[in-house]
Amino acid sequence: MSKRFYVTTAIDYVNGQPHLGHAYEKVITDVIARARRSMGDDAFFLTGLDEHGQKVQQAAQQEGKTAQAYSDALAEDWKRFASKLDLTNNDFIRTTEPRHKGVVSALLSELHARGHFYTAEYVGFYSTRAETFLTDKDRRPDGSFDPEYGDVAQLTEQNYYFRLKDHQQWLIDHIEANPDFIYPDYRRNEVLGFLKNNTLEDLCISRPSARLTWGIPLPFDPGYVTYVWFDALTNYITIPAAHGDPALPPWARKAAGASGNEAVELWPADAHVVGKDILKFHAVYWPIMLKAAGLPLPRKLVVHGWWMKDGQKMSKSTGVIVDPVQVIQDWGVDAFRYYVVRELDLGPDGNWTDAGFEARYNAELANGLGNLVNRSLGMLNKYRKGIVPPPHDELAADAARAIAAVREDYEAYRLQGALIDAWSLVSRANLYVQQTAPFTLAKDPAQAERLDQVLYNLLEACRILAILVWPVIPQTAQKIYGQLGIPGAPDRFADAAWGRLVPGRATGEPAALFPRHDLVPRSKS
């Protein structure tokens, strides 16, 4: 048995319907998982839901439901959403599952036994209406709190705290010694700047059950539930533990109810994919929790930026939103996946515009890749009855360059770069059609051999492209294979070597990969 490449998304709060930001993170993580599998790694991809805590409890109350009934119903929507996005996740975690509650409880007991927690009193201003402590940041310029908070009273609360100060220096050393730990670079610098210029405050890991019931009880004090972030971060080891991962201690595997027969080696995670807003939780609290429990740290945090729409922050109340389900219904899941990966490099913030989406759909998908495949196969059918001619290698060097570049991009998490490099081959092949003018060659019987050569080069480029783009647009890639008459799936990078298209074989029927959008029936919104 060997360790699998283990990649995760953040787990989403189940207090509403999924939006573009959630969809983006899931798609890029799926692309990473698929690319790794294609390159030979046995990748394990985890996504799921963060169901405890005040946000969910309040959202449920507003709908007059129990938190459990509320999250059960929404969890079904989110699972359906994962399949609409064509995700290939190997497991789906809900933090209300027994296997997760068991691991959180066991981790708390372990840290408690190791002496990492202490109790202390917290004195602060508590808003009963917002069910939260307010800080000075919440005060208006005149020092008062906004009336929306209702009555704000000074409250003293006893809680459990996690001692963090002792962990500050080793964490700085770890991040400095492992430049690959946080990607991209500027996010790493942000964390280092924060750690070097601030003293870490101890983390409050409990909430009194008197004011929050929707959480996992502290195993050593039933008067409290666990702080939702401590609960949520633990999900990343719950699943390895539940699958019997020998890298985790027996207490974790037992708590997750691992059966003992199936053992999957996953921990440490190879990449946690998260948004920039939750970097501190993943780069500071999570490594400290692990180290304190004697567990290995994850290998990498891959930190993506935030999407806006038309230059504005997305928000339901202002109506500035992108509904991924609607886009998928109108344009197809591959068009959605392509746009989000191609438009936004992994790291900076991005901006969705409907015009930009349409422009890429038309120029790059329909007229770029779609047209290349369609006319290559169309000409083969017309001039050679759909039979693949003998091999020729005029585009072999261009293809080899693209293959090497795309592989490096996928390995280095440059997903946008992978598409740019794949499209260099699309452009090269489309230009080749213009340069070689096969429709003119077809008119001259003396040019029959030359026409064979041109057609082979075009079809072989299409075959290779199917493999290069499969992690991002798997359904389209599969259609290309089908139209070329190739059995199996374009899911093995090793097959992207020039000359594997078998001569003498019959191809299938060409059909538009990306129909012109005015021909797609638009759903009524």
Binding site residues, ligand MSP, CB under 6 A: 10-13, 21-22, 24-25, 50, 232-233, 235, 274-275, 277-278, 306-307, 314
Smallest gap from residue 25 Cβ to ligand MSP (A): 5
Residue 93's H or E segment, with its range, is: strand 91-94
Looking at the Cβ atoms of 314 and 426, the one nearer to ligand MSP is 314
Looking at the Cβ atoms of 12 and 334, the one nearer to ligand MSP is 12
Quickly list DSSP for 413-439.
Answer: T-HHHHHHHHHHHHHHHHHHHHHH-HH
Smallest gap from residue 292 Cβ to ligand MSP (A): 17
> Backbone dihedral region of 350: left (phi > 0), alpha (psi from -120 to 50 degrees) or beta?
beta
Smallest gap from residue 335 Cβ to ligand MSP (A): 19
Smallest gap from residue 143 Cβ to ligand MSP (A): 31
Looking at the Cβ atoms of 297 and 400, the one nearer to ligand MSP is 297
Looking at the Cβ atoms of 278 and 400, the one nearer to ligand MSP is 278
Q: Are 296 and 325 in contact (CB under 8 A)?
A: no
Return the residue nearest ligand MSP (CB atom). 275
What does residue 516 show for φ and ψ, rounded to 5 degrees?
A: -60, 140
Q: Could you give the 3-state DSSP secondary structure of residue 519?
A: helix
Smallest gap from residue 161 Cβ to ligand MSP (A): 20
Q: How many whole angstroms separate alpha carbon 120 and alpha carbon 269?
A: 34
- Burial string for 140-173 (b: 16+ CB within 10 Å, else e) reads eeeeebeeebeebeeeebebbbbbbeebbeebee
Smallest gap from residue 17 Cβ to ligand MSP (A): 11
Looking at the Cβ atoms of 108 and 314, the one nearer to ligand MSP is 314
Looking at the Cβ atoms of 78 and 410, the one nearer to ligand MSP is 78
Looking at the Cβ atoms of 22 and 37, the one nearer to ligand MSP is 22
Two structure tokens written together for 182: 């946080």
Looking at the Cβ atoms of 12 and 364, the one nearer to ligand MSP is 12
Question: Which residue intervals of 39-92 are DSSP H helices?
Answer: 54-62, 67-84
Smallest gap from residue 235 Cβ to ligand MSP (A): 6
Q: How many whole angstroms separate alpha carbon 258 and alpha carbon 253?
A: 5
Q: Are 425 and 396 in contact (CB under 8 A)?
A: no
Looking at the Cβ atoms of 10 and 369, the one nearer to ligand MSP is 10
- Which residues contact residue 1 at a Cβ distance below 8 angstroms, ignoring those fewer than 6 apart? 263, 265
Q: How many whole angstroms separate alpha carbon 184 and alpha carbon 176?
A: 14
Smallest gap from residue 315 Cβ to ligand MSP (A): 10
By residue count, the chain amounts to 525
Smallest gap from residue 12 Cβ to ligand MSP (A): 4
Looking at the Cβ atoms of 133 and 281, the one nearer to ligand MSP is 281
Q: How many whole angstroms separate alpha carbon 415 and alpha carbon 262?
A: 33
Two structure tokens written together for 386: 């759909």
Q: What share of the chain is helix, strand, coil (3-state, %, to 5)?
A: 50, 15, 35
Smallest gap from residue 452 Cβ to ligand MSP (A): 49
Q: Alpha-carbon dihedral of residues 358, 360, 364, 369, nearest 10 degrees?
A: -60
